[in-house]
Chain A
Amino acid sequence: METIYSCLRDAHDQDLLWIAALVCVTGVYASISLARHASRVEGNSRKAWAAVAIVSSACTAWATHMVGLLAFQPGMQAGFDPLLTLMSLLLTIIGISASMGTAIGSRNRLRRAGAGLLLGLSIALLHYLGQAAYLVTGRVTWNVQLVALSLAWSLPLFAAAMVLSGDKRNSLRHLAGPLILSAIALLHFAGMAALELTFDPRISLPESALPPDVVAPIVAAVCAALVVLAFMGLRFALAARAQAIRDRSRLKQLADLAVEGLAICRDGTIDAVNGSLATLVGCSQQDLKGRTLSSLLPDTPLSKLSEHQEQDGELFTNDGTRVPVRLLRKIVKIGNVDQTVVAIRDQRERLRTEQRMRTLAFTDALTGLANRLQFNQILSANCEKANATEERFALLLLDLDRFKFVNDTFGHAMGDELLKRVARRLSACCGSTTSIARLGGDEFAIIVDEELAQDTAETIIDVLGRPYLIDGSIMDIAASVGIAIGPADGSNPSVLSRSADLALYTAKHAGGSVYRRFEREMRERAQARRQLELDLRRALVREEFEVHYQPQVDPGDGRFQGAEALVRWRHPERGMVPPADFIPLAEEIGLISPLGEWVLRTACEQATGWPSHLTVAVNLSPVQLRDSALAARVMQILQDTGLPGSRLELEITETALLQDEETTYNTLHALRAMGIRISMDDFGTGYSSLSYLRRFPFSKIKIDRSFVRQVPEDQESVAIIQALTSLAAKLNMTVTVEGVETAEQRAFTVSEGCNQIQGYLISRPIESVSIRALFNEPLQSVA
Chain B
Amino acid sequence: MPLYRLLYRSEIALNGSKDQIDHQIDQIVSASEQSNHLSGLTGALIASGGVFIQALEGPLGALEATFEKICLDLRHKRVNLIELAAAEERIFPEWSMIRVAQGAQMIEICTVVGVRESGRLDTSTTSALVSLMRNILLTKSAGSLDNEVAAGASAAIRLPDR
Measured in the bound complex, the distance between the Cα atoms of B67 and A201 in whole Å is 136
Verify if B74 is at the interface (C-beta below 8 Å from A): yes
| Residue contact B84 to A466, C-beta cutoff 8 Å | no
Question: In the bound complex, do residue B64 and residue A428 qualify as a contact, i.e. CB atoms below 8 Å apart?
Answer: no
> Does B71 sit within 8 A of A, measured CB to CB?
yes
**B77 located at the interface, meaning its Cβ lies under 8 Å from any Cβ of chain A in the complex:** yes
CB of B81 within 8 A of CB of A463, answer no
Most buried by A among B8, B64, B67, B78: B64
Across-interface contacts of B81 in A (CB, < 8 A):
466-467, 469, 474
Contact of B72 with A by CB under 8 A: yes
A469 partner, pick from B63, B73, B77, B78, beta carbons under 8 A: B63
Q: Does A538 contact B (CB under 8 A)?
A: no
Whether A463 lies near B72 (C-beta < 8 A) is: yes
B84 & A425 in contact (Cβ 8 Å cutoff):
no
The one of A421, A428, A467, A471 that contacts B79, using a Cβ cutoff of 8 Å: A467
A755 on the B face (CB < 8 A)? no
Known: A469-B63, A469-B84, A472-B60. A428 touches B72 (CB 8 A): yes
Q: Beyond A425-B72, A428-B72, is A466–B79 a contact (Cβ under 8 Å)?
A: yes
Q: A421 to B65, alpha carbons, bound, how many Å? A: 11
B88: Cβ under 8 A from any A Cβ? no
A223 to B4, CA, bound (A): 111
Q: Is B68 in contact with chain A by the CB < 8 A criterion?
A: yes
Within the complex, what minimum Cβ distance (angstroms) separates A512 from chain B?
14
Q: CB distance B60 to A463 under 8 Å?
A: no
- B64 contacts which chain A residues (CB < 8 A)? 469-471
Contact mask for chain B residues 53-91; partner A; CB cutoff 8 A; 1 contact, 0 none: 000000010011001100111100111010010000000
Q: CA–CA, A109 to B56, complex, Å? A: 98
Interchain CB contact (< 8 A) of A463 among B6, B71, B84: B71
**For window 403-430 of chain A, which residues contact chain B by CB distance below 8 Å?**
421, 424-425, 428-429
A19 to B78, CA, bound (A): 115
Q: Which residues of B contact A429 (CB under 8 A)?
A: 74
Q: Which residues of A contact B77 (CB under 8 A)?
A: 462
Would B74 and A459 count as touching, CB distance under 8 A? yes
Q: Which of B4-39 contact A (CB under 8 A)?
A: 4, 6, 8
Give the chain B neighbours of A469 by CB distance below 8 A: 6, 63-64, 67-68, 81, 84
Provide the residues of chain A in CB contact with B68, threshold 8 Å.
421, 424, 468-469
What count of chain B residues pass the 8 Å CB interface test?
A: 17
Residue of B nearest to A470 (CB): B64
Q: Complex: how many Å from CA A493 to CA B60?
A: 45
Q: Which residues of B contact A424 (CB under 8 A)?
A: 68, 72
Residues of A within 8 A of B79 (CB): 466-467
Which residue of chain B has its CB nearest to the CB of A421?
B68
Which range holds the interface residue count of chain A? 10 to 19
What is the 8 Å Cβ interface bit string for chain A, positions 464-502, against chain B (1 contact, 0 not)?
A: 001111111010000000000000000000000000000
Which of A468, A469, A470 has the most CB atoms of chain B within a 10 A radius of its CB? Answer: A469
Within 548-589 of A, Cβ neighbours of B (below 8 Å) are at none
Chain A proximity of B63: nearest CB distance (Å):
7
- The answer to whether B63 touches A428 (Cβ under 8 A) is no
Q: Which residues of B contact A474 (CB under 8 A)?
A: 81, 84
* Complex contacts, B4 vs chain A, CB 8 Å: 472
Task: Given A467-B81, A474-B84, verify A425-B74 contact (CB < 8 Å).
Answer: no
- The reply to whether A463 and B74 contact each other, CB–CB distance below 8 Å, is yes
Chain A residues, CB < 8 A from B78: 462
- On chain B, the residues within 8 Å of A462 by CB distance are 77-78
Which B residue sits closest to A427, measured CB to CB? B72
Assembled-state Cα–Cα distance A463/B73 (Å): 8
Beta-carbon contact of A425 and B60 below 8 Å: no
CB closest residue in chain A, given B72:
A428
- Indicate which residue in A459, A467, A471, A472 contacts B71 across the interface (CB closer than 8 Å): A467
Q: A472-B60, A474-B84 are in contact. Are A466 and B71 (CB under 8 A)?
A: yes
Contacts of B6 in A (CB 8 A): 469
A429 CA to B60 CA, complexed, in Å: 26
- Cα A467 to Cα B81 in complex, Å, equals 7
When distances are taken between beta carbons in the complex, the residues of chain A under 8 Å from B60 are 471-472
Identify the closest chain B residue to A428 (Cβ). B72
Q: What is the CB-to-nearest-CB distance from A130 to chain B, in angstroms, rounded to a whole number?
A: 107
Q: Specify which chain A residues have a CB less than 8 angstroms from the CB of B72 in the assembled complex.
A: 424-425, 428, 463
Chain B residues with CB below 8 A from A472, complex form: 4, 60
Give every chain A residue within 8 A of B74 (Cβ-Cβ).
Answer: 428-429, 459, 463
**Which residues from chain B contact A463 at a C-beta distance below 8 Å?**
71-72, 74
CA of A467 to CA of B10, assembled, Å: 12
Nearest-neighbour CB distance to chain B for A290, whole angstroms, equals: 56
CB distance from A466 to the nearest CB of B (A): 4
List, in ascending order, chain A residues with CB within 8 A of B73's CB: 428
Chain A nearest CB: distance from B116 CB in Å?
Answer: 15
Chain B residue at minimum C-beta to C-beta distance from A474: B84
Q: Which residues of B contact A421 (CB under 8 A)?
A: 68
Q: Which residue of the partner chain A has the closest CB to B66? A: A469
A475 CA / B73 CA spacing, docked (Å): 18
Shortest Cβ distance from B73 into A: residue? A428
Q: Please report the C-alpha to C-alpha distance between residue A468 and residue B84 in the assembled complex, in whole angstroms.
A: 11
Residues of A within 8 A of B71 (CB): 425, 463, 466-468
Report the minimum CB–CB distance from B90 to chain A (whole Å): 18
Q: Which A residues from 424 to 446 make CB contacts under 8 A with B?
A: 424-425, 428-429
In the bound complex, what is the Cα–Cα distance between A469 and B77 (angstroms)?
A: 17
In the complex, what distance in Å separates the CA atom of A66 from the CA atom of B74? 112
A467 and B78 alpha carbons, distance in the complex (Å)? 10
The CA-CA distance from A424 to B69 in the complex, in Å, is: 10
Which of chain B's residues has its CB closest to A472's CB? Answer: B60
Whole-angstrom distance between the Cβ of A406 and the nearest chain B Cβ: 16
Kindly provide the distance from the CB of B5 to the nearest chain A CB, expressed in whole angstroms.
12
Q: Mark B78-119, 1 if CB is under 8 A from A, else 0.
A: 110100100000000000000000000000000000000000
For the complex formed, measure the closest distance between the CB of B79 and the CB atoms of chain A, giving whole angstroms: 4
Which residue among A424, A467, A474 has the maximum number of chain B CB atoms within 10 Å of its CB?
A467
- Bound complex: CA A467 to CA B84 (Å): 11
A462 and chain B: residue at smallest CB distance: B77
Q: Which residues of B contact A459 (CB under 8 A)?
A: 74
Q: Which residue of A lies closest to B78 (CB)?
A: A462
A341 to B81, CA, bound (A): 72
- From 322 to 350 in chain A, residues with beta carbon under 8 angstroms from any chain B beta carbon are none
- Complex formed: what's the CA distance from A158 to B149 in Å? 126
Q: Which residues of the partner chain B approach A466 to less than 8 Å between Cβ atoms?
A: 71, 79, 81
Docked pose: A474 CA to B120 CA in angstroms: 11
Chain A residues with CB below 8 A from B67, complex form: 467, 469
- For A425, the closest partner residue in chain B by CB is B72
**Chain B, Cβ-Cβ closest to A469:** B64
Report the separation of the CA atoms of residues A489 and B41 in the bound assembly, to the nearest whole angstrom.
Answer: 49
- Report the separation of the CA atoms of residues A536 and B60 in the bound assembly, to the nearest whole angstrom: 53
B149 CB to closest chain A CB, in angstroms? 31
Q: How far is the CB of B45 from chain A (nearest CB, A)?
A: 17
Query: Which residues of chain B are within 8 angstroms of A471 by Cβ–Cβ distance?
Result: 60, 64
CB distance from B98 to the nearest CB of A (A): 22
Q: Which residue of B lies closest to A473 (CB)?
A: B84
Shortest A615–chain B CB gap in Å is 42
Closest chain A CB from B10 CB (angstroms): 9
Shortest beta-carbon distance from B108 to chain A in Å: 25
State the A residues within 8 Å of B (CB): 421, 424-425, 428-429, 459, 462-463, 466-472, 474
CB pairs A–B below 8 angstroms (28 shown)? A421-B68, A424-B68, A424-B72, A425-B72, A428-B72, A428-B74, A429-B74, A462-B77, A463-B72, A463-B74, A466-B71, A466-B79, A467-B8, A467-B67, A467-B71, A467-B79, A469-B6, A469-B63, A469-B67, A469-B68, A469-B81, A469-B84, A470-B64, A471-B64, A472-B4, A472-B60, A474-B81, A474-B84
Q: Which 8 A-B pairs have the closest CB atoms?
A: A428-B72, A466-B71, A466-B79, A469-B64, A467-B81, A462-B77, A469-B67, A474-B84
Sample of 8 more A-B contacts, CB < 8 Å, known A467-B81, A474-B84: A421-B68, A428-B72, A428-B73, A462-B77, A466-B79, A469-B63, A469-B84, A472-B4
